[in-house]
Amino acid sequence: MATVWFVGAGPGDPDLITVKGRALLERAGAILYAGSLVDRAAMRYAPPGCEIRDSRDMTLEAINAWLIAAAARCDTVVRLQTGDPGLYGALTEMSRALDAAGVAWKVVPGVSSALAAAAAAGETLTLPELTQTVILTRVAGRTPMPPREDLAALAAHGTTLCIFLSITLLHEVQAALRAAGWAEDAPVLVVHKASWPGEEKIVRGTLADIKKKCQAEKIASQAMIIASPALGARERDGVARSRLYDPAFGHRYRRVAVPGGAT
């Protein structure tokens, strides 16, 4: 039975696709990839004779029609999407069309650019006793945001914010963080094309100066914005230690001696 696989290509580096995703590309009869965001180098895994199409100029209706037609010809069809298919993609719209056409489909997750950006900068998104929550969000552009998800309201939690699709609206990000009470010297990280070989840019700044620094680097697309109290923690003293690896913290895999000889 033919199956359409929605595969997360990861953040950009072709080597960051999952093993399962690569295996599907290697046996695919047809691949539809998001060329505006997915490096064509990922097509090196496609077998000879595989039908390959770039979707950058296609509407949703054209994409759905292509996938359905490909599934009539091939057992394995791959829709290769940037990052993870469940984040800021059209998975629901495409899968509904496949359901209506009686075409089987499955999803293979991918590495998000939020994680790749943190990795590129050597940062952690969570830190004991400081922030244990990560919010993945964006600011409103041509796609509106639900009123309850206003960035200032989310930023008021003071936790880690990974802000997608918003680099051209960085001034609005700054305004929202200020409205939420973030200090002017709060650290902000911007990573352009995280993991893309030869194209990645890492910009570190503060709420006050991050926009000017990004302008100086001519970053205007494909960038992840991270605002977090955890940024720069390795250069700070007094950061709380993870209890999981604390000698005094016992669990079922590590017994801890206590006074009196008990464990």
Structural domains counted in the chain: 2
Residue 26 pLDDT more than 70? Answer: yes
**Tell me: the pLDDT tens digits for 41-96?**
788 899 999 999 999 999 999 999 999 999 999 999 999 999 999 999 999 999 99
Residue at 244 is within a domain: no
User: What single-letter DSSP state applies at residue 254?
Assistant: B
Average pLDDT over residues 171-200: 97
What confidence category does residue 257 fall into, taking pLDDT thresholds of 50, 70 and 90? Answer: low
pLDDT at 259: 60
Residue 132 pLDDT more than 90? Answer: yes
CB atoms near residue 138 (< 10 Å): 18
What CATH number corresponds to the domain at position 214? Answer: 3.30.950.10
**Tell me: the pLDDT tens digits for 215-235?**
999 999 999 999 999 999 888
Same domain, 52 and 139: no
Q: Residue 147: which domain range?
A: 113-233
Residue 184 pLDDT more than 90? Answer: yes
Return mean pLDDT, the chain. Answer: 92
Same domain, 155 and 192: yes
What confidence category does residue 154 fall into, taking pLDDT thresholds of 50, 70 and 90? Answer: very high
Residue 246 pLDDT more than 90? Answer: no
Same domain, 12 and 102: yes
Return the minimum-mean-pLDDT range out of 44-58, 91-105, 136-150, 163-177.
Answer: 136-150
